[in-house]
Amino acid sequence: MGKYQIGEFEEIVMLTVAILHGNAYGISIKQQIEETQGRKVSVGALQSCLQRLEKKGYLKSREGEATTIRGGRPKKYVEITAAGKQALATTREIRNRLWEAIPRVVLDMKFTVYS
Amino acid sequence: MITPPKIPSRFFRWFCRRDLLKYLEGDLTELYQDLIHTKSRRRANWLFLVEVLKLFRPGIVRSIEYTPIKTFNLMFKHHIFLALRNFKKHRASFLINLTGLTTGFTCALFILLWVRDELSVNKFHENDDHLYRVMEIQTYANDRLATNATPGVLAENLKVDFPGIKYASGTSRIRESQLSFDNQSYKEIGLHVDTDFLKMFSYPLKIGNVATVLADKSSMCISESLATTLFGNVASAIGKTIRYEENRDFVVSGVLEDVPANSTLQFDYLLPYEVYKEENQWVTEWGNNGPHTFVMLHPGVDPGEVTSKIANYVNEKNEDRNTVELFLKKYSEQYLFGNFTDGYPDGGRITYVRLFILIAVILLVIACINFMNLSTAAASKRAKEVGVRKAIGAQRKILIYQYLVESWLIALFAALVAVILAFLLLPHFNEVTGKSMSLGLSWVNTGLILAVVFICGLLAGSYPAVYLTHFNPTVIFKGDIKTSLGELWVRKGLVIFQFTVTIALMIGVIMVHKQIRYAFNKNLGYDRENVVVFRQDGSIPNKREVFFNKLRSTPGVVSASSSSHNMIQQMTSTTGLEWEGKPTDEEVIFENVRVDEDFLKTLDMKLVSGRWFSKEFGADTTRVVINESALQVMGFNAEEVIGKRVRLWDRYDLQVIGVLRDFHYESIHTKVSPSFFWPQDRRLRYVVVRLAPGRQSETLSAIQRLYSSFNPGFIFDYAFLDSSYQQLYTAEQQVSKLSTYFSAVTILVSCLGLFGLAAFTVQSRTKEIGIRKVLGASSGRIVLVLSASFTKLVGIAVLVSLPISYYAVAAWLDSFAYKTSMSLWVFGAAGLLSLLIAWVTVSSQALKAAHINPSQTLKQE
């Protein structure tokens, strides 16, 4: 279990990469997260996260096309590796298990307070 | 696409990991395009900067390990190591290069010292910027000349009449006088100065107050060293009474620090100018010239403006004259820019300064050329090294850098050796130049030396570096490097250039020597051998008759005469001579020479016509003799002038009785002035004595005894005319000696290069020589084959250098009024000599090669 530990931001990045499926590179990932989550992501934060994930073996990269809008520099596409999928699955499973373990009362109370 | 702001991008490129750089830069650029379309430009730039700053985090910043500085240092170490290894491996060419560069540097260093010393002369005065000498341009019908001599009352009047002038001082000329204290006498040099003098010039007082030290007419300032000689120490000098010329007492009121060597004014004592005026009545008249005048302007006053205001000042004071024009000359500039031709500035010593700078540059360039030639010629030896390096991935940039490091290193070695050599040779150099320079390794000197090392290294190393590294490794390993025609031409061109310069220098030096020898041997119009000149001091003028009778009867004295001139200087001139047919509105300047009857005989001068003064003809005091130049100015011929009457100063009616052949008073830079000679009792300052050859020292001591009996306590101070005359050419002699040394070095360095090149050529042609020998060529034939190509090069150099040196020498000779001829043999000899030197250099190598047994050279392969 400890083998597949990933952080919250890492999880979001990996999920976004999965969503973008084949079109995931720095800027597209950043925009996707900003649009869907309404949170600001800096290139720096994203990049160091991508680096980390690649180092852990959850992502792999390939050099993409260079466009004029990028000043002639290539994109670096990333996609999820098998280990990455495994890690996401594990995280999700842990979370599910945790949800299931919450006593119903707690949730009901909470709902009543706010509704 | 809009490019993102430069500075943040640059910063990013600097810190970003190399493997991420292109992707991230792409991301950033794309992001910026986005920003620029949605936000204002400023906002976009700002956000971009923030993004870049946020990227500055671990994982993205590259590690220090890969900074280029580190590689640079590493490679640098490696280069130095390799350079040292190469020096060891190619010892011969290393030594040749080192010797060439070292000699070049040593000479350049000496020249640097000399030039800096020359440039420092008179610059030490704190008020240097505001110090000026007042000079005169005097215009006459027959001459226009600039002179330092001014009316003696000029200084004090200028100071009163022109508010721009802060201080002004007249000075007498420097002369040697006798100072006595406590029965001990010394001949010392000094002058009379105004009270302002010490306020203007930085000759600091050890004891005494600048404002008052020369205020009293009986006061006197002496130098520290004179104080020590006279009184044992400086402190006890004040208040002591010194007897001056055995006729006047002065009380020491101040002690000066010794005058520095780079001051043109050299003196051991100063006396009040008032005393000079008192003793010489003529000084106070506006019509007489003699004293020098110095002024110091208020800061911010324009000297040009002052010049235009004072230009006519002396004429106004003299009422009817319009011949004199005053102008200011910056005092410290006069040393280097002191020459005037027809009253117009015409360079001066600066010519020599420039000449030597040129020689230094030439020497360095020649030494650098040696380096270039040897390195490129040895290319095949090192080509393999370059090939291997290239094959394993060395960039050309790094290889070029490596060769440059090598040449810088060798230049640095050479500089170190040169500094050591310079230290050792400095005393000798000082002797030749008559200076006392020291090799202070100040920041400026060190900086200059390092700059020269850097530039020479770059100059010498750049061509070999580019040349050696341009080979294609595959070509190198296949082993057929072909030197292209262009490269050969570069190498040949360099040799031609070297020899052109060398030959031109050689011709220059020979001509300088020839001119100086010409000056020394030129018939000056009289015989200057065995002639002694001394001053008529003390009581001699009053008892002249008795003194001369005794002098003439001294054994060993051939003849003796009185004269107003010391024969190596023009001394008194006048425009007061009138003659029949002289245009009334013109002023003509004549040298006024007072003599006695024995003058002609003593100096062995020749008459063109008429007769010289003689007691037999009685009252010769109303007669005059003129010289040939005067004859020309007056427009008579030698015969018709005899018997003509001339009028001097509207007081004397004189009859011309003879014409004397022209003789030189000064160095032959200047033309002989029109002169007249008349017997007078007044102002006969000098005794001129001709001694019999041989026994001169006995005769001189007899004369000394006679002198002392007339002047007890006076020092007998005499000079031989021929050596005084030679001293007029000190500057030329120094220059000639120095240029001889330097051109010898140039020749040496050029030959060194040729030697190296020849050695290398021979080496690379050993097989060819072997085959030639096997096929039956004689040793002589082989030497001829090998020398031929070099001979051609030197031959071309000879042809190129001859016209260049011809024009240069002609220009230099133009500065002399009387000059030696430009003989063709000088040019022929220089050309032949250089060919000869080249042959000797080359054939020593060729002979060696020709004597190798071909079986040795051909057995390999």
Q: What is the pLDDT of residues B546-588, one digit of tens each?
A: 778 877 777 777 788 888 777 777 667 777 777 777 776 667 7
**DSSP state, residue B440:** -
Is residue B551 helix, strand or coil?
A: helix
Tell me if B25 and A51 make a contact (CB, 8 A cut-off). Answer: no
Count of beta carbons in the 10 Å neighbourhood of residue B109:
25
Quick check: B383 and B483 in contact, CB under 8 A? no
Q: What is the rounded CA–CA span in Å between residue B847 and residue B781?
A: 10
Question: Is B31's Cβ below 8 Å from some Cβ in A?
Answer: yes
Give buried/exposed letters for B665-702 (b at 16+ CB in 10 A, else e). Answer: bbbbeeebbbbbbbbbeeebbbbbbbbeeeeeeebbeb
Contact list in B for residue A63 (CB cut-off 8 A) is 23
Whole-angstrom Cα Rg for chain B: 37
- Cα separation of B514 and B499, whole Å? 22
Higher pLDDT, B102 or A112: B102
**Residue A82 touches partner B, C-beta closer than 8 Å:** no
3-state SS, residue B335: coil
Q: Give the span between the Cα atoms of A9 and A37, in whole angstroms.
A: 11
What does the block give as tokens for B643?
């018997």
Q: Which residues of A touch B31 (CB under 8 A)?
A: 27, 30, 43
pLDDT of residue B851: 79
Closest by CA to B674, choosing from B665, B684, B683, is B665
Distance from the Cα of residue B522 to its chain's centroid: 25
State the average pLDDT over residues B427-448.
79
Burial class of residue A106 in the structure, from the number of CB atoms within 10 Å of its CB (0-12 exposed, 13-18 middle, 19+ buried)? exposed
Residue-wise over B335-374: b if at least 16 C-beta within 10 A, else e?
bbbbbbeebeeeebbbbbbebbeebbebbbbbbbbbbbbb
Helix, strand counts (H, E) of chain A: 5, 2
Looking at this protein, which amino acid is placed at residue B840?
Answer: V
Give the pLDDT of residue B619. Answer: 61
Q: 10 Å Cβ neighbour count for A48?
A: 17
State the Cα torsion B402-B406-B411-B415 to the nearest 10°: 110
Lowest average pLDDT, out of B364-378, B405-419, B796-810, goes to B364-378
Do B174 and B266 touch, CB atoms closer than 8 A? yes
Q: Are A61 and A52 in contact (CB under 8 A)?
A: no
pLDDT (0 to 100) of residue B233? 82
Question: Which residue of A28, A32, A47, A49 is the best one to mutate when testing the B interface, meaning the one whose CB has the most B CBs within 10 A?
Answer: A47
- A48 and B57 within 8 Å at the Cβ level: the answer is yes
A72: domain CATH number is 1.10.10.10
| Residues facing B584 on adjacent strands | none
**Looking at per-residue confidence, does B685 or B268 come out higher?**
B268
Q: Cβ B25–A47 below 8 Å, yes or no? A: no
Question: Can you tell me whether residue B830 is helix, strand or coil?
Answer: helix
Q: How far is CA B369 from the centre of its chain?
A: 26
Nearest to A73 among B29, B33, B50 (CB): B29
- A69 touching chain B per CB within 8 A: yes
Alpha-carbon gap, residue B801 to B496, rounded angstroms: 10
Nearest-CA distance from A73 to chain B in Å? 5
- For residue A13, the model assigns a pLDDT of 92
pTM: 0.69
Domains in chain A: how many in total? 1
pLDDT at residue A38, rounded to an integer? 85
SS3 B54: helix
C-beta atoms of A68 and B1 within 8 A: yes
B60 touches chain A (CB under 8 A): yes
Asked if A56 reaches chain B (Cβ–Cβ under 8 Å), the answer is no
Q: Find the range with the poorest average confidence among B127-131, B566-570, B743-747, B787-791.
A: B566-570
How many whole angstroms separate alpha carbon B562 and alpha carbon B548?
9
What is the pLDDT, as a whole number, of residue B480?
A: 63
Q: To the nearest whole number, what is the mean pLDDT of chain B?
A: 81
Count other Cβ atoms within 10 Å, centred on residue B396. 14
Coil, helix or strand at residue A101: helix
ipTM field: 0.84
Q: Give the structural domain span for A18.
A: 2-114
Q: Which of A43, A50, A61, A75 to mutate to test the interface with B (most CBs of B within 10 A)?
A: A43
For residues B461 and B374, what is the distance between their CA atoms, to the nearest angstrom?
11
How distant is the Cα of B27 from the closest Cα of chain A, in angstroms? 6
pLDDT in tens, B185-199: 888 888 888 888 888
The one-character DSSP state at B4 is P
Helix-, strand-, coil-residue percentages of chain B, each rounded to 5:
55, 15, 30
Query: B846 near B758, Cβ under 8 Å?
Result: yes
> Which of A42, A62, A68 has the highest number of chain B CBs within 10 A, making it the mutation to test binding with B?
A42
Taking the CB of residue B173, how many other CB atoms lie within 10 A of it? 12
- pLDDT tier for residue B667 given thresholds of 50, 70 and 90: low
Question: Which residues lie closer than 8 Å to B306 by C-beta, 6 or more apart?
Answer: B162, B164, B165, B297, B328
Segment A23-49 mean pLDDT? 89
Instruction: Tell me what pLDDT residue B484 has.
Output: 64
The DSSP element (H or E) to which A28 belongs, if any, is: helix A26-37
Task: Say which DSSP state B265 is in.
Answer: -
Q: Hey, which residues does B184 pair with through a beta bridge?
A: B181
Distance (Å, whole) CA A47 – CA A50: 5
What does the block give as tokens for B537?
A: 């001091």
Residue B832 to residue B795: CA distance in whole angstroms: 9
Distance of alpha carbon B277 from alpha carbon B157, whole angstroms: 14
Pairing of the two strands B248-256 and B324-330: unpaired
Q: Does A34 touch chain B (CB under 8 A)?
A: no
Do residues B194 and B182 lie in contact, with contact meaning Cβ atoms separated by under 8 Å?
Answer: no
B56 touches chain A (CB under 8 A): yes
Q: Which two tokens stand for residue B653?
A: 């009616």
Which band of pLDDT confidence, cut at 50, 70 and 90, is reported for residue A16? very high
Contact between B23 and A26 using a beta-carbon 8 Å cutoff: yes
Q: What whole-number distance in Å separates Cα of residue B198 and Cα of residue B256?
A: 10
pLDDT band for position B177 (cuts 50, 70, 90):
confident
CB pairs under 8 A between A and B: 73
Q: Does B63 touch chain A (CB under 8 A)?
A: no
Supply B473's token pair. Answer: 């490794």
Q: How far apart are CA B625 and CA B603, in angstroms?
A: 15
pLDDT in tens, B38-49: 888 888 899 899
Rounded CA-CA distance A111/B13 in Å is: 53
Q: Which residues pair with B689 in a beta bridge?
A: B532, B560
Closest CA–CA distance from residue A71 to any residue of chain B (Å) = 6
Cβ contact, residue pair A42, B30, below 8 Å: no
What CA–CA distance (Å, rounded) separates A46 from A24?
12
* Cα–Cα distance for residue pair B509/B516, rounded to 1 Å: 11
Q: Phi/psi zone of residue B206: left (φ > 0), alpha (ψ -120 to 50 degrees), beta? A: alpha
Secondary structure letter of residue B833 according to DSSP: H
